[in-house]
Structures are given as C-alpha cells and as structure tokens.
C-alpha cells in the first residue's frame, strides 16, 4: 500500500541530504600529478543575471574566463608569463552576484567555508562590497574587490584581507571637471542627471565638489535623479531642454544611458547641450552614430580607447576580440587589472619565499603598496594603507568615424594618478571639500 507520507518524507530527506555533500570539499578536476603544484581556487563573483549583467557581468565573466585560460596556458606576455599563479593553475568558480545583501553574504560564506576557495575576486555593486568586506575580515579570506566605486571601503575602517586594485570613483569626477573646464572656458551654469542611488548620488556629489574647487563661480541649474533602470526619461529631457545649462553631467551607464540617449537625441538635446558621461565608454559601441559628436567620454580609468600602448594591451585586445568577437569595455579591463594585481603580489610573495607557495599572510604583505603594470596602465597600491590602488585617468571627446563606421575618441587628455586621487591617509570627501590640497598635477 502506498505511503505518501513516507514518499514525501523521503524526498525531503533527500533534499536536505543534498545540501550536505556540498559541504565536502569538491574534487579537484583531474588529480594533480606529482610535480604539478596544487591548483589555486579562485571564486569569481559578478552579475551573471539581471540588468547589471550586460554592462558589467558579461564583460567581467569574459575577462575572467579569458585570463584564467591564458594564464593557465602560460600565454600571457611578460611579466605575467608564468603559468597560473606562480606555476599553480587557477581553478575558477563563478557565482552570481544578483540577489539581496543576505544572499550575497551567504554565497560569500559558501565560497569560503563550503567550497574552500583560496581567493575571492569580484563584486560590482558598492553595497555588496561594503557588506562583504567585514565578512572577508572575519573569515580571514583574501578578497580582491573589483569595480565597485565607493570610497567607503577603506575610509570607514582599515582592512587587512580586503584589497581593491581598481581606483574608486573620486578620480572619475575630478578628471571630468578638469576636462570640461579646459575644453569650455567660462562655464557658469551646468546641470546633472544621475541615477537615484548611491552611485549616481556619490558621482554627482564628487562632481559638484570638484567643480566648486576648480570653478567657484559655476552654479547648478537642474539636478535630476531618475530611478535606476527607469527607462522612460521624457520628463527629464523636457526639463533639460528648457534649462539653460552649458553642459550636463551624467554617470549613467549602459542600458539607462542608451535609453536616455535614444530619447534625448531624438529630441535634439545632446546636439544642443554637450554631455559629460563619466561612464560613457560602456555604451559607445552600441550607440554608435546615435550619440552626437562632442560628448565628453570617460572610462573610469585609462581603458580601451584610453589605454597606454603596451604589449599587454595589444595582446589583451587581440585575444579578447578573437575569442568573443566583441571589443573589451572598461569592466573587462578592470577585471583583468584585478587579476594582474593578484598575480603580481602572489608571485612576489612566492619569490621572497624561495619558490614555495605563499600563505595568505605572505601574499597580503607582498600586495600592500605594490606597483605593477596592467593592460591599461600602471597601478600603485598607495591608498588605504596599501590596500587601495590608484591609476591615472583619461578623458576624451566623442567622434563617430563615419568612413570606418566605428566610434572613436579624440582630444584625449591624461591626468596623472596623484592629480585626481586623494593623497594617502586623506578621506576623499574631505580632500574635495578642502580644495584638493596635495594634488600633484604637473
């Protein structure tokens, strides 16, 4: 006779039991041969689903996959030509960053305690970076935060196990202000449209502070904050059309930026008033001729159009395009940069130890304050007691090359790292409010 209770109880038990095998350390793919060092397990966390996948998650994922494969094959140019990290191959595990803060923290704990990864690299959202950092410290897990822009990570508390190679968002807006003031002399009024969440609010705050330092007489006409992923910007465009700003600042990126530009360009707004797009580079390939010439474009660092010429850069672009048939955008460059930093620190620690695998503490000691080349530029870990990197940055003006049918950026101006980043041990907001004292801009 059927026992439905037993059936259900069985399935429930099975379900619960399914959770337990996950607690055992997973089998390493392929038993390591005697001479080959044990692999390094890295957990990569980025947005694999949801609206942040297209602008950040996919480029991050591509860059990570690409680099892991190339590193494991030893195909990366000098000085990163050693296999994996110091000869040990990298075993990658990808986790989606989507979900609530509770989900993100739970998944981080799973990565560290259940899957026993050696390093965690990733995180795009500033909120997630802030939630993860204390947990990384608690679990003593080496974590390299990727692209989140908030300055709060190292300014609120000192961190030992957390690093961030990519600069925070302050330099984006300081450089933007410098560029727009160099290009358009005599600015007296400007407006801004930024997304109504921390990234947009922080970007606008930093930009306003920088403008006040560089051009005290300039005033703000309209400051708009549409909802993130609002999609429909009719009212905002009307407001900007009837304002008398001389330029418009925006930290919009990807989907929102494209939707806004399609609607705005259709109504003649960017043709009339130039835009300063601090994260505009992500959308240039898709916007193409739809974005009018003259927009000021940033890439949150010297990436893609702005990358310094180097063997690493040429190599990176080539293998990326060959594999994914798509141009790498700044999130890909940033992710690659994070991995290069980890590798540089790891191998420095290993060399110091005479060739044997470094411990987490040894890698941390090597990572602090290190300086290393990447496919974009050179990174120096000078802020946050050696845990936060700074680089130079570049801005340019958009021009669509009709003959070649592709987007280009002209009138590129570079700003050295110490010109647009606060000095060590100075909080970003305090630095901006204090007139950017200590900046070295020659």
Partner 1 sequence: MGVAVVLTAFAIVTDGLVYAAYLFLVAVGLTLIFGVMKILNVTHGSFYAFGAYGAAIAVGVYFDRGLPAAGGFLLMVLVAMAIGLVLGLILERGLLRLVYGKDEVVVVLVTYAAFLILEDVIQLIWGANSYALYQPLGVVGNVDVGPLVLSGYDIGLVAFAGLLAVAASFALKHTRWGRLLTVVIFDRELAAAFGINVSLVYTITFVIGAMLGALGGATMAPKIAVTLGIGVEVIVLAFAVVAIGGMGSVEGAFLGALIVGECRAAAVHLAPQIELFVIYAVMALVLVLRPQGLFTRAQPRKI
Partner 2 sequence: MTLRSLVLGTLVFLLVAAMAPTLPVWLVSLATIALANALVVLGLIILWRAGLVPFGQALFYAVGAYSVALITRYTSLRDVLVLIAAGAVLSCFTAFLAGFLLARYREIFFAMLSLAMSMILYGVLVKTETLGSTDGFGVEPPTYIGYAPQGRMHLLMLFWLVLAFCAVAALLVSLYFRSVAGALAVPVRDSEIRLEFLGISVNRLIHLNLVIAGTLAGIGGALAALSIEHVDPNMSYWTTSGGFVFVMVLAGAGSVAAAFVGSFVFELLKSIAYDILPGTWQMFLGAALLLTILFLPEGIGSLFARLRRRRQRQSMSATP
Binding test (CB under 8 A) with partner 1, winner from 109, 205, 212, 267: 267
57 touches partner 1 by CB under 8 A: yes
Question: How much of the chain is in helix, strand and coil states, percent to nearest 5?
Answer: 45, 20, 35
What's phi and psi for 435, nearest 5 deg?
Answer: 80, 20
Q: Nearest distance from residue 245's CB to partner 1, in Å?
A: 12
A 10 A CB-CB count for 19 gives 9
Q: Which is nearer to partner 1, 282 or 421 (CB)?
A: 282
- Which ranges constitute the DSSP H helices of 215-268? 234-241, 254-266
258 counts as binding partner 1 under rule CB under 8 A: yes
In angstroms, give the least distance from the CB of 268 to partner 1.
5
Out of 54, 65, 109, 434, name the contact with partner 2 by CB under 8 A. Answer: 109
Structure tokens at 319: 């293998």
Q: Which among 147, 213, 107 has a CA at the least distance from the CA of 437? A: 213
CB 327 within 8 A of CB 321: yes
Footprint of partner 1 on residues 346-385 (CB under 8 A)?
A: none
State how far Cα 46 lies from the chain centre: 10
State the binding string over 209-248 for partner 1 (x if CB under 8 A, else -). -------------xxxxxx-xxxx-xxx-xx-xx------
268 binds partner 2 (CB under 8 A): no
How far apart CA 117 and CA 203 sit, in angstroms, is 34
Single out the residue of 13, 28, 49, 100 in contact with partner 1 (rule: CB under 8 A): 49
Decide: is 6 part of the binding site for partner 2 (CB under 8 A). Answer: no
Residue closest to 211 by CA, chosen among 197, 223, 199, 228: 223
Residue 1 sits in the site that holds partner 2 (CB under 8 A): no
Q: Which of 95, 176, 187, 393 binds partner 2 (CB under 8 A)?
A: 95
Q: Using CA atoms, how far apart are residues 145 and 357, in angstroms rounded to an integer?
A: 23
The string of DSSP letters for 140-166 reads T-EEEE-S---THHHHHS--SSEEE-S
Residues that bind partner 2 (CB under 8 A): 4-5, 8-9, 12, 15-16, 18-19, 22-23, 48-49, 94-96, 99-103, 105-107, 109-110, 112-114, 126-127, 130-131, 134-135, 138, 150, 152, 156, 196-199, 201, 205, 228
Residues that bind partner 1 (CB under 8 A): 48-51, 53-54, 57-58, 196, 222-227, 229-232, 234-236, 238-239, 241-242, 254-256, 258-259, 262-263, 266-269, 286, 290
């Amino acid at each position: 006779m059927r026992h439905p209770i037993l059936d259900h109880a069985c399935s429930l038990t099975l379900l619960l039991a399914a959770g337990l095998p996950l607690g055992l350390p997973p089998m390493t793919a392929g038993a390591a041969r005697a001479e080959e060092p044990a692999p390094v397990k890295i957990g990569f966390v980025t947005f694999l689903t949801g609206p942040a996948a297209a602008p950040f998650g996919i480029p991050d994922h591509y860059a990570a996959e690409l680099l892991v494969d190339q590193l494991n094959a030893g195909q990366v140019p000098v000085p990163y030509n050693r296999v994996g990290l110091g000869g040990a191959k990298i075993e990658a595990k990808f986790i989606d960053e989507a979900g609530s803060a509770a989900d993100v923290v739970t998944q981080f704990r799973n990565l560290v305690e259940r899957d026993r990864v050696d390093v965690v690299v990733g995180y795009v959202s500033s909120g997630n970076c802030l939630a993860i950092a204390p947990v990384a410290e608690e679990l003593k897990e080496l974590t390299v935060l990727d692209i989140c822009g908030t300055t709060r990570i190292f300014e609120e508390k000192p961190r030992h196990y957390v690093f961030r190679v990519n600069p925070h968002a302050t330099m984006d807006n300081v450089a933007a202000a410098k560029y727009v003031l160099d290009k358009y002399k005599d600015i007296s009024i400007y407006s801004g449209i930024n997304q109504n969440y921390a990234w947009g609010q922080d970007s606008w705050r930093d930009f306003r502070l920088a403008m006040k330092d560089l051009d005290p007489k300039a005033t703000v006409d309209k400051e708009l904050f549409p909802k993130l992923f609002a999609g429909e910007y009719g009212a905002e465009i009307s407001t900007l059309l009837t304002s008398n700003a001389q330029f418009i600042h925006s930290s919009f990126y990807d989907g929102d930026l494209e939707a806004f530009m399609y609607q705005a360009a259709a109504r003649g707004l960017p043709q009339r008033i130039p835009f300063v797009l601090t994260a505009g580079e992500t959308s240039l390939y898709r916007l193409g001729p739809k974005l009018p010439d003259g927009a000021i474009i940033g890439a949150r660092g010297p990436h893609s159009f702005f990358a310094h010429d180097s063997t690493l850069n040429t190599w990176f672009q080539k293998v990326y395009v060959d594999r994914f048939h798509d141009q790498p955008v700044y999130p890909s460059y940033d992710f690659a940069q994070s991995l290069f930093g980890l590798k540089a620190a790891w191998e420095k620690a290993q060399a110091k130890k005479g060739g044997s695998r470094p411990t987490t503490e040894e890698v941390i000691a090597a990572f602090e304050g290190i300086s290393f080349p990447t496919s974009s530029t050179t990174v120096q870990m000078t802020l946050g007691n050696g845990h936060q990197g700074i680089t130079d940055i570049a801005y340019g003006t958009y021009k669509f090359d009709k003959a070649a049918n592709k987007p280009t950026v002209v009138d590129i101006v570079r700003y050295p790292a110490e010109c647009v980043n606060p000095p060590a041990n100075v909080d970003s907001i305090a630095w901006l409010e204090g007139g950017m004292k200590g900046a070295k801009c020659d």
